[in-house]
Amino acid sequence: MYILLNVARLIDRLNTVVGKSVTWLTLLVVLVSAINAIIRKSFGISSNAWLELQWYLFGAIFLLAAGYTFLLNEHVRVDVLAERFPVKVQLWIEVIGVVFFLLPASLLIFWLSIPYFTLSYELQELSSNTGGLIRWPVKLLIPIGFLLLSLAGVSHLIKCVAFLLGKGPNPLQGRTRQEVEEKLAEEIAQLAQAGNQSVHTEQKGS
């Protein structure tokens, strides 16, 4: 089990590095979208390559960060019943979910997407849109993304089994979705309060 936990830590480190790196693509998407909009509105010039680059980057964010999102327990969950069960029952639900749902689905998509990518690469497939981009790089994101998600599932499974055997911490411990939402609401309220204070200060000064 010690070796398996080390494997889980390596997988988590990989997904963390990839996930944190991918967050910078969000800024790049915003810049590309803004520049494309400014050029189109100001000069009447548009390019399919720029438009396709936007959804290529969005696809990269969605696919490459899937494993990291699962690691942080930020995927959409419906835990109305599960969260009422004892911790060990919750962990068994996690094990069953990973073994019978997550891994089969993600590995199947990974396997089926490989020929989908290789054919595109061999043909050097181009976009059907005029001036569009080459297609195989974005198709490569599919097997990579689902491989990372599958690895995240394996890591989670190892940690769940380790806890059930009394050889590791509870992988479900940490911030719940409700706590994340409460923190976000608190930050928004603080920003609103700071904005109101600045408005009052300006009114007094005038």
What's 81-99 look like in SS3? Answer: CHHHCCHHHHHHHHHHHHH
For 49-102, how does the pLDDT look when each residue is reduced to its tens digit (9 = 90+)?
888 888 899 999 999 999 999 998 887 776 777 778 888 888 898 999 999 999
**Same structural domain, 132 and 183:** no
**Same structural domain, 125 and 160:** yes
Supply the pLDDT for residue 75: 76
Supply the pLDDT for residue 59: 92
**Same structural domain, 36 and 94:** yes
**Same structural domain, 34 and 82:** yes
**Same structural domain, 68 and 99:** yes
**Same structural domain, 49 and 77:** yes
**Same structural domain, 123 and 147:** yes
**Same structural domain, 110 and 199:** no
What percent of the chain clears pLDDT 90, i.e. is strictly above it? 47
pTM reported for the whole predicted model = 0.78
**Same structural domain, 147 and 182:** no
Residue 20, judged by CB atoms within 10 A of its CB (0-12, 13-18, 19+), counts as: exposed
Domain residues for the domain of 83 are 2-174
Task: Map residue 126 onto helix, strand or coil.
Answer: strand
Supply the pLDDT for residue 174: 58
Look at the alpha carbons of 91, 93, 96, 100 in this order and tell me if their dihedral is positive or negative.
Answer: negative
**Same structural domain, 93 and 187:** no
For 125-154, how does the pLDDT look when each residue is reduced to its tens digit (9 = 90+)?
988 888 788 999 999 999 999 999 999 999
**Same structural domain, 78 and 168:** yes
* Angle at the Cα of 12 from the Cα atoms of 6 and 18, rounded to 5 degrees: 140
**Same structural domain, 108 and 72:** yes
What percent of the chain clears pLDDT 70, i.e. is strictly above it? 83
Domain count, the chain: 2
